[in-house]
Amino acid sequence: MTPCPDQPLWAPSAERIAASNLTAFRRCAEQRWDVRLPDFDALHDWSIASPEQFWVSLWEFGGVIGERGERVLVDGDRMPGARWFPDARLNFAENLLRSRDDTDALVFWGEDEVKNRLTHGELYRQVARFAAALREAGVVCGDRVAAYMPNMPETVVAMLAAASIGAIFTSASPDFGVQGVLDRFRQTAPKVLIAADGYFYNGRVIDGLGKLGDIVRQLPSVSRVVVVPYIRAEHDLGGIAHARMLADFLAPHHDVTGIEFERLPFDQPLYVLYSSGTTGAPKCIVHGAGGVLLQHLKEHLLHVDVKPGDRLFYFTTCGWMMWNWLVSGLASGATLLLYDGSPLIADGTVLFDYADAEGMTHFGTSARFIDGIAKLGLQPRETHRLASVRAMLSTGSPLTPESFDYVYRAIKPDLWLSSISGGTDIVSCFVLGCPILPVWRGEIQCRGLGMAVEVFDDEGYPVRGERGELVCTKPFPAIPLGFWDDPHGSKYHAAYFERFDNVWHHGDFCEITARGGFVIHGRSDATLNPGGMRIGTAEIYRQVEKLPEVVEAIVVGQDWEGDVRVVLFVKLRAGRALDDELVARIRQTIRDNTTPRHVPAKVLQVADIPRTKSGKLVELAVRNVIHGQPVKNLDALDNPAALEHFRDRAELKS
């Protein structure tokens, strides 16, 4: 059945709109400030025009624990430079640990069938003991605590314990190689390193202690290593300096039951997150506790409609910002559903099994996963109940219109599909979903509340219905505090504010639709420029990945005879070879649905396509390889050997 372009794929019922957190918030704001906010557009306009009122309302609606202070926004005309809630005092962990009852706080499924759950009371007590152990290890406010961990309860406990003290938490997933970890943690110099003994992936057991020993030998800042048993119960830690097993680390604090939360300024550093680092050393992006808390409360409560008792899932690792986003769901009263391992075991059904078994309400995943199970021909609506799932969230890369169709056809027709987009840079979203708006095929629903998002042309003028640069023209609380070890802010300014003065330039190539939705066409730095025309890479992916023979693709621009030519690489289904007929069909599909300029000059087959560890394509790395230039940070890639499929291709020399 062909979707009707004049009809939404989904629209909320009147009952669902009335029961949404966003409707409740809108009514509270109207009463609090004596304003009229009849719909989402009016609410968004007010959130931008009256930011002090909006963020105060969000603080109150979210029940933030702490002292707000009198001032809300100082130097609000400066970006960077604006200061939010400069007199406030709060603790991030205290806000996530507000519940102490015996309902589920964390549920954990590991690929090896390890399952575990912690109640809110148990989580609080575990954090109390871990915080006491960190204090005994000499950790004080401002120190760094690093985790080299799977997405498991112990990682959440470690983060909350660090945050309760005012220490800064930073993490990498255990699939990172030694150099990838050192490229990150050497810059931030952690005092304590928490690491699992290994992990499980795609039916394999991967030991991590060998890598851990190499890492610790090259991290002189670390004075304590805490090893979490996951793949085995006991270990000889003789080869790892400063190491103790988790049980031994916590043993002296068995009787500790309370937490001494440090109430700290709104801008107290909470996290250091890292850019992908595929073109150089990863940037160390510092995020403040108050900004992260408010932004995530806004997104969870208003844009994702999380209610107390909801069961929130996102498929993520601890090396991706969606882990930080997921964990904040505790502040909104959600139970967090954690998963570690491959999402495609059990013939691709394990996450749907999880949804049914644990009453998942919000199913968060990546566009790549949705496309992957569509290629596998899965029909979850026929094999699973999914009765509790009312929202599916997707990020990581643009969600194609065909993937929208697949979700409603094959997963669940009465489902709110929320495509979201933001990044590690703000550990949140610029554009995302809205529970009271319809879902249109291929479109992200709306701007984030409090986010003055626009699309600029090359001259810096706002445009609609045209492709351009995603920008944010006014400050917001979740703007990063800066980069680590960038005392004058020069690297930070160059990254986001050099292109347009006093405006955040995010680096996404996108457009605003006639309905006010958004379409992301790829990263600006990966756009193609044949004949001077800017083409977003996602525009080509949307077409070529429709073809059943194509598993995935990557497209780059090759410098050629004074211009740029488009080169498309495709990974095909097992046993399928690229022949003239398929090349012609690929080119015709692209031509029929885009423009002649989009049609690749070359279409070549590769055995694998490189991605970052969070699953993002690395067009710039491939472009460097085909031009004979070095790729500076192979450890940022999940499959660096894949780059060899692009090197010295004879087809690119003519």
3-state secondary structure 203-267: CEEEECHHHHHHHHHCCCCCCEEEEECCCCCCCCCCCCCCEEEHHHHHHHHCCCCCCCCCCEECC
Nearest Cα to 335, choosing from 102, 14, 584?
102
Instruction: Give 162-190 pLDDT, tens digit per residue.
Output: 999 999 999 999 998 898 899 999 999 99
Instruction: Give 450-490 pLDDT, tens digit per residue.
Output: 999 999 999 999 999 999 999 999 999 999 999 999 999 99
Between 141 and 525, the more confident residue is 141
Q: Check residue 278 and give its pLDDT.
A: 59
Q: Check residue 474 and give its pLDDT.
A: 98
Q: How confident is the model at residue 545 (pLDDT cuts 50, 70, 90)?
A: confident
| 111 φ/ψ angles, rounded to the nearest 5 degrees | -60, -30
Q: Using an 8 Å Cβ cutoff, are 536 and 555 in contact? A: no
| 632 φ/ψ angles, rounded to the nearest 5 degrees | -75, -25
Between 630 and 160, the more confident residue is 160
In the DSSP assignment, the letter for residue 653 is G
Q: Check residue 279 and give its pLDDT.
A: 60
Nearest Cα to 64, choosing from 92, 85, 105?
92
Going from N- to C-terminal start, the domains of the chain cover 121-265, 527-653
- Across the range 263-276, mean pLDDT stands at 95
Residue 175 in tokens? 């699939």
Helices (H) and strands (E) in the chain, counts: 21, 32
Residue 394 in tokens? 């997707």
**Mean pLDDT, all residues of the chain:** 94
Q: Check residue 486 and give its pLDDT.
A: 95
- Across the range 378-397, mean pLDDT stands at 96
3-class SS letters over 385-403: CCCCCCEEEEECCCCCHHH
Q: Check residue 374 and give its pLDDT.
A: 93
Q: Check residue 3 and give its pLDDT.
A: 59
pLDDT(594) > 90: no
Instruction: Give 206-248 pLDDT, tens digit per residue.
Output: 999 999 999 999 999 999 999 999 999 889 998 899 999 999 9
CA 211 – CA 277 distance, rounded (Å):
20
pLDDT(1) > 60: no
Altogether, the residues listed in the chain come to a count of: 654
Pairing outcome for strands 335-340 and 518-523: unpaired
Least confident of 179-188, 528-537, 599-608: 528-537
Architecture of domain 121-265: 3-Layer(aba) Sandwich (3.40)
Structure pTM? 0.90
Q: Check residue 558 and give its pLDDT.
A: 92
Residue 275 in tokens? 């850019």
Q: Check residue 28 and give its pLDDT.
A: 98
Q: Check residue 2 and give its pLDDT.
A: 55
Q: Do the two domains 121-265 and 527-653 of this chain adopt the same fold? A: no
Instruction: Give 553-584 pLDDT, tens digit per residue.
Output: 999 999 888 888 999 999 999 989 999 999 99
CA 287 – CA 271 distance, rounded (Å):
5
Instruction: Give 92-108 pLDDT, tens digit per residue.
Output: 999 999 999 999 999 99
Residue 144 in tokens? 């760094």
CA 254 – CA 19 distance, rounded (Å):
43
Q: How confident is the model at residue 360 (pLDDT cuts 50, 70, 90)?
A: very high
Instruction: Give 399-429 pLDDT, tens digit per residue.
Output: 999 999 999 999 999 999 999 999 999 999 9
CA 124 – CA 531 distance, rounded (Å):
60
Q: Check residue 397 and give its pLDDT.
A: 84
Q: Check residue 616 and give its pLDDT.
A: 84
Alpha helix ranges (H) inside 528-611: 537-544, 580-593
Q: Check residue 338 and give its pLDDT.
A: 98
Q: How confident is the model at residue 41 (pLDDT cuts 50, 70, 90)?
A: very high
pLDDT(632) > 80: no
Rg (CA), the chain: 24
Instruction: Write the burial class of residue 82 (CB in 10 Å: 0-12 exposed, 13-18 middle, 19+ buried).
Output: middle
Q: Which CATH superfamily is domain 527-653 in?
A: ANL, C-terminal domain (3.30.300.30)
Angle, helix 209-217 to helix 178-188, in steps of 10 degrees: 40
Q: Using an 8 Å Cβ cutoff, are 266 and 291 in contact? A: yes
Nearest Cα to 600, choosing from 612, 611, 591, 613?
591
Q: How confident is the model at residue 13 (pLDDT cuts 50, 70, 90)?
A: very high
Q: Using an 8 Å Cβ cutoff, are 238 and 108 in contact? A: no
Q: How confident is the model at residue 633 (pLDDT cuts 50, 70, 90)?
A: confident
User: Which residues are 510's β-sheet partners?
Assistant: 468, 520
| 478 φ/ψ angles, rounded to the nearest 5 degrees | -90, 10
pLDDT(635) > 90: no
- Across the range 55-84, mean pLDDT stands at 97
User: Which residues are 338's β-sheet partners?
Assistant: 108
